[in-house]
Structure formats: C-alpha cells, structure tokens
Amino acid sequence: MNKVLEVRNLSKIYGPGCPHCIESTGPEADTNLCPHCGSVVAIHDVSFDLFEGEILGVMGESGSGKSTVVKALYFDQAPSGGEAIFFDGDTQHELFALNAARQRWLRNHRFGMVYQNPNLGLNFNISAGGNIAERLLMSDLMDYGAIRERAKALLARTEVLLSRVDDLPKHFSGGMQQRVQIAKALATQPPLLFLDEVTTGLDLSVQARILDLILEIQQELKTAMVVVTHDLGVIRLLTGRAIVMKYGRVIETGLTDQILEDPQHAYTQRLVASAL
C-alpha cells in the first residue's frame, strides 16, 4: 500500500518552554502544564504513518492534544518540533520546511479539513455554493459554469438540497453545515482529509448519516483520512487503525478492533470500559 503521510516526533508547546517541560508533563505526571515555566505541552513525540484509502483514528479526552495534531498538519498552527512528509504521487513534501505560499497551495489543492465548528471551515457570509467555489477558485478553476456544476454535484453528493445552493450557510442546521463543509473539503478531490470531531454535538440520527457519508466517500474516492474524536463509536465505525492520546503523548497504537477488544494501557481500558 502507498504511504500518504509520515509523521515523526511532532510536538507543540504553548509558552516559553524550559528544560523541564517534557519530563514534568505527560500521562505519568498527570498534566500537560509544566509546573516550572507554566507552558502547555500540547503534544510531544507524536509519530504515525497513514496509507492510501486508510482512515486513522486519533482518540483521547479533551486536552489530550488530538486536535493539535491535525491543526499542525493542516498548517493552522506551526508545530514546535518534529517533521511530516506528504507523499503525493511521485513527489514528497516535507510539510514544515515549505514556505507559506507552498503550504497554502497544499492546503487548497491536496488537503481537506472538516472542523467541529462549521464557523472555522465555512464563510457564513457567502452562499453554500460560494464556499465551494472559493476552494475551486483557490485551485485556479476559472470557468463559472464549470464551478457552478461542480458545486452542485458536490452538494448533491453530500445530500444538501440543491434549492439551497445559493443560501447562506448561517441559516442551515448543524448537520447541513457539516455536509457543506464536507462538500467544500472534497471540492478539489484531495488525497488527504482531516476530520476534527465532525459529528460532536449533532443529533444521533444526523451523526449516523454523516458517518455513512464519510465511509461512502472513502470507498468511492480512496481518500486517506485522519479522524479526531473522543467518541469511541465513531472510532469503531470509521477507522481501521487508531492511536490513543493522553496529555499530549501517544499511549497506545494499533488496529482499532484490537484496541477496542483488548486495550493494553490502563487508561485505554478505562476509556473503553466507560463507553460500554
């Protein structure tokens, strides 16, 4: 199988940092806040690989650093250390060595992101179709008719009523906003998609339909995905492999079935037990 993403020793520290930050934080220390300098060690030493068409789960409670991982990879926040290589056909991109313009190019052309808060992924002051058009325009498609057709096709695929293509997403329900976000993320057919708690806060029936949609897309387009969630149900349904994070560190990694059926780390055991 082709590797899409290789992440090594990713770390992110908020604050000045000091020589004691790493040893004083993490699951053993039971905190991510350095008692010496007050810095927050959001993630440290996170490594994983992602393969074509694969869905990798990143699970953990709030404060575990799981969202920081995807925000760093999608260039929302610069990491403090580590590296990541994106394999795009025959080309390799060392993500954090690229300049801002190249990073923006990758974001617009090759990556997609769906945020928990649709406010972050959508511009609420332009129409649903306009949101998709923006991403297509970023990738240099300059034909109005073609942009319009593609926007409609994407909204149809994500089950948004076509009669609403020219409405503002701020008037949409939460579930529909997430569908528009997914359509926008998929607009350029990216080989890599990041999903950050995309079903959190939605009704159960709405959640189920969105998760189905994500699975269908993965099967149709062979998109590789990193799914960040605290919801074991989402992990179970979507992912083949998963990593478990606590206080910024990876504490367990493996096949999803294995982790859920036979968790090794005490924390994972508690997490799985509490969900049953």
Partner 1 sequence: MNAMSHTTGGNAYNFGFLDEYAKKEIRRAVLKAIAIPGYQVPYASREMPMGRGFGTGGLQLTLALIGPGEVVKVIDQGSDDSVNAVNLRQFIEMTCPGVSTTTRTAEASLIQSRHRIPERPLTPTQILVLQVPYPDPLVVVEPSEDKRKIMHGEADYSRLLVKLYEDIVQFDEITISHRYPTRINGHYVIDPSPIPRWDVPRLDHAAALTLFGAGREKKIYAVPPHTRAEPLAFSDVPFRVEDFRDAAGRRRACARCGCTDSFLDEFSSDAGEKVYQCSDTDWCDEKLLRKESLRGEAA
Partner 2 sequence: MSYVAIKGGGRAITGAAAVTEFLRTEQGLGNPAAEPLEIDTILHQLRHLVDRVVSEGGVYHPQFAALAVKQSLGDTLEAAFALRAWRSTRPRLTATPPLDTSRMRLIRRISSAFKEIPGGQMLGPTPDYALRLLRLELIDESPDAFRAVARDWLGSCPEAQLPDSFPKVLDALRAEGLLPPLPHPRPLSPGERGESSAFDITREPLVFPVPRSAALATMARAETGSLLAIAYSNMRGYGDVHPTVAELRVGYLPVLLPHPVTGELAEVGEVLMTECEVVAMYAATEPGGKPVFTVGYGACFGHNEVKAISMAILDRALQKGMQDGPANPSEDPEFVLLHVDGVDSMGFASHYKMPHYVTFQSDLDRLRTTQQKSGEPA
**Site residues for partner 2 per CB under 8 A:** 15-16, 37-39
Residues that contact partner 1, how many (by CB under 8 A):
21
* Contact pick of 65, 121, 129, 263 for partner 1 (by CB under 8 A): 129
CB of 135 to partner 1, least distance (A): 8
* Contact pick of 29, 33, 98, 137 for partner 1 (by CB under 8 A): 137
Rounded to an integer, what distance in angstroms lies between the CA atom of residue 67 and that of residue 59? 9
Relative orientation angle of helices 128-138 and 100-109, to the nearest 10 degrees: 130
Choosing among partner 1, partner 2, none, which partner's interface includes residue 100 (Cβ < 5 to 8 Å by kind)? partner 1
**147 binds partner 1 per the rule CB under 8 A:** yes
Choosing among partner 2, partner 1, none, which partner's interface includes residue 144 (Cβ < 5 to 8 Å by kind)? partner 1
Choosing among partner 1, partner 2, none, which partner's interface includes residue 239 (Cβ < 5 to 8 Å by kind)? none
CB of 107 to partner 1, least distance (A): 11
| Residues 152-181 contacting partner 1, CB under 8 A | 166
In this chain, which stretch among 59-67, 128-136, 223-231, 240-248 interacts with partner 1, using CB under 8 A?
128-136
Query: Of 17 and 175, which CB lies nearer to partner 2 in the complex structure?
Result: 17
Choosing among partner 2, partner 1, none, which partner's interface includes residue 143 (Cβ < 5 to 8 Å by kind)? partner 1
* Contact pick of 142, 204, 273, 276 for partner 1 (by CB under 8 A): 142
CB of 45 to partner 1, least distance (A): 32
* Contact pick of 33, 37, 98, 126 for partner 1 (by CB under 8 A): 126
Could you write out the DSSP letters of every residue in the chain? Answer: --EEEEEEEEEEEESS--TTTTTT-BTTTTBSB-TTT--EEEEEEEEEEEETT-EEEEE--TTSSHHHHHHHHTTSS--SEEEEEEEETTEEEEGGGS-HHHHHHHHHHTEEEE-SSHHHHS-TTS-HHHHHHHHHHHTT---HHHHHHHHHHHHHHTT--GGGTTS-GGGS-HHHHHHHHHHHHHTT--SEEEEESTTTTS-HHHHHHHHHHHHHHHHHH--EEEEEES-HHHHHHH-SEEEEEETTEEEEEEEHHHHHHS--SHHHHHHHHHH-
In this chain, which stretch among 30-38, 77-85, 145-153, 211-219 interacts with partner 1, using CB under 8 A?
145-153
